Amino acid sequence: MVYFVDNLIRKRRQLDGLPQLPMQNRLLGHLHIADEVTKLFPPGVHAHVWSEHVRTKYKLPKVFYLDWRQFGPLGLYIGDPVVASKYVTTTQSLPKNPLARVYLETFLGRNDMVTAEGVHWDSLRSIFNPGFSLGNIITLTDSIVHARVTFGDVIHTKAETSELLCSRSSEPARRPWKLWSNGRRLNAEIGKEFDLKIRRRAEQTAPGEKGAIHKKKRSVIDLSLNAYEKETSMFINDGWTAFFHRARQETADILKQDPYLVNKLEYTTTVIRETMRIFPAASTVRCRPTPGKAEAGVLGFVIESETRKQIPMLADAMLRPVAHMIHRNTRFFPNPLKFIPERLIQSQTAFPEKKLFTDAGKDAFRPFEKGPRSCIGQELVILEVKVILALTAREFDFVLEYPGEEADVRYPTPENMVDELSDNTKYGKAIRAGTTKRDRFEGHRVYQRLMSAAKPNGGYPGRIYFHTW
Ligand code: HEM
């Protein structure tokens, strides 16, 4: 017991003089923050949602420590994009945190690209890079438009019945039996598709015509198989409606004939990007390399841009560049809680004096993270959402409706997230008095919960209607 307490106190002393949340006592560290957050925020809210709130409330710099050790992790929270890129993800790209691996392994299995390291990651990434390149992804527009037709049929039926819909997003199964059986089924299905694909490729490649298939086939899987074959042969050989209104006016039917037209859907792209700024789905979690060879030459500190303070990256800390926080950094995104797509277009922004379009700002928008470990699927996602949104939003309206509640309830967007929950506001007072439900964040009834990634609370329930012009 004495050893435990002594050890804990020694650990807390590592944080003396560093930016951190107020510590009530050395034994409990910052555990009272968990209590505070639980009382103010909606149940199940994603952890990245409240980090900027506590940072602002306790007037901390954009990089600070949160210490829950013995009960949870020690985290270095990073809301400064320059720090994130320079020391953690890009100029210096640190290894993924083992805790992230443990979490992801339960549903991605071992050997996944997200948590792989070293030559294993290098080889996986080179196999899949060609298929996910922008040049290749654009050739898939036709299939995406085609998929939208099927999707459109489904939502057409739902619009006819106006039934209440709710997406089925849930925390991935954690029971070992369920995980095993789900994984087995998934692997069997994927295995079947792979076998089929490999058989077809073999049939299509006539003897003496090696390489012909490499020219014809352009799907992600085909290009990855090409790369794999190459590699293995080396071894063997607010108005939200108003915004969508503009998107609707963009013609979509001709996309099939000219896929490159998607590049002209500039405003639609900006609407998607601004949505991802406010609601980023994921972030990265890194760590210092284990002492030894790997750590040689690695900078063990960061320098915060505004205070110029040097902050060590402690050995057992989870290093968390939090996209949700960075996207609310007012040096780059003034009025960060407001949905203003034009802010992301240099020629249209109302905030030209801000730093978004400078070197410091180039990494401030990071829903897919940055650096060599950034999301390989980002071009594909943006293309899919762009095509599907451009085509669907023209025909349908989606109205948010939680079961048993009034439809399309909107709360005012607060000036900042601390105000919304402070004891000066009606809502803040009511949640403290326990006379209302904790049901919103930054004015959104659809706040984010952690369900493998950040997902909308309640599966974004609502009804679909035909749009009337
Ligand atoms: C809106 C959708 C998506 C978002 C917001 C997103 C976001 C991210 C983020 C933040 C990372 C970094 C994770 C980390 O460092 O731990 C990541 C990595 C990754 N993503 Fe995505 N992703 C999306 C969709 C996709 C899709 C559709 C695919 C594949 C079809 C994909 C494949 C990957 C892979 C393989 C990595 C690991 C890359 C590497 O480490 O080299 N993602 N994604």
- Ligand 1: which of 169, 375, 376, 383 to mutate, judged by most atoms within 8 Å of the beta carbon? 375
Cα–Cα distance between 360 and 369 in angstroms, integer?
15
The answer to whether position 148 is within a domain reads: no
The answer to whether position 455 is within a domain reads: no
| Predicted confidence (pLDDT) at residue 233 exceeds the cutoff of 50 | no
The answer to whether position 392 is within a domain reads: no
Look at 109 and 157; give whichever has higher pLDDT: 157
Q: Whose CA is nearest to atom 16 of ligand 1?
A: 284
Asked if residue 284 has its Cβ within 6 Å of ligand 1, the reply is: yes
Tell me how long the chain is: 469
The answer to whether position 5 is within a domain reads: yes
Asked if residue 201 has its Cβ within 6 Å of ligand 1, the reply is: no
Domains in the chain, number: 1
User: Which ligand 1 atom is nearest residue 112's CA?
Assistant: 35
Lowest mean pLDDT, pick from 75-79, 163-167, 200-204, 208-212: 208-212
Q: What distance in angstroms lies between residue 283's CA and the mean position of ligand 1's atoms?
A: 9
Q: Whose CA is nearest to atom 31 of ligand 1?
A: 377
C-alpha distances out from residue 154 to 164, 285, 346, 402, Å: 14, 38, 38, 21
| Predicted confidence (pLDDT) at residue 61 exceeds the cutoff of 90 | yes
Closest by CA position to 33, among listed 21, 48, 47, 49: 21
The answer to whether position 26 is within a domain reads: yes
Q: What distance in angstroms lies between residue 15's CA and the mean position of ligand 1's atoms?
A: 32
Residue that is written with structure tokens 């490159």 in the block: 260
Calculate the dihedral angle through the C-alpha atoms of 67, 172, 104, 64, rounding to the nearest 10 degrees: -20
Question: What confidence tens digit (pLDDT) does each residue in 144-158 have?
Answer: 877 777 777 888 899
User: Which ligand 1 atom is nearest residue 380's CA?
Assistant: 27
Asked if residue 365 has its Cβ within 6 Å of ligand 1, the reply is: no
Question: What confidence tens digit (pLDDT) does each residue in 36-58 have?
Answer: 999 999 988 998 999 999 999 99
Average pLDDT of the segment spanning 326-341:
95
Domain that holds residue 83: 1-109+280-369
Q: Whose CA is nearest to atom 32 of ligand 1?
A: 377
| Predicted confidence (pLDDT) at residue 422 exceeds the cutoff of 50 | yes
pLDDT at residue 324, as a whole number: 97
The answer to whether position 56 is within a domain reads: yes
Q: DSSP states of 282-305 as a string? A: ----B-PPPSSGGGTT---EEE-T
Q: What is the pTM of this model?
A: 0.87
Long-range contacts of 296-301 (CB under 8 A, 24+ apart): 298/92, 298/94, 299/87, 299/92, 301/87
Q: What distance in angstroms lies between residue 282's CA and the mean position of ligand 1's atoms?
A: 8
Grade residue 242 by pLDDT with cuts at 50, 70 and 90. very low
Look at 148 and 432; give whichever has higher pLDDT: 432
Question: What confidence tens digit (pLDDT) does each residue in 254-292 have?
Answer: 556 666 777 777 888 999 999 999 999 999 999 999 877
Grade residue 243 by pLDDT with cuts at 50, 70 and 90. very low
The answer to whether position 467 is within a domain reads: no
Grade residue 295 by pLDDT with cuts at 50, 70 and 90. confident
Cα–Cα distance between 439 and 118 in angstroms, integer?
43
Average pLDDT of the segment spanning 176-205:
79
Q: Whose CA is nearest to atom 5 of ligand 1?
A: 281
Q: Whose CA is nearest to atom 19 of ligand 1?
A: 375
Q: Whose CA is nearest to atom 11 of ligand 1?
A: 375
Asked if residue 373 has its Cβ within 6 Å of ligand 1, the reply is: yes
The mean of the pLDDT values for the chain is 84
The answer to whether position 134 is within a domain reads: no
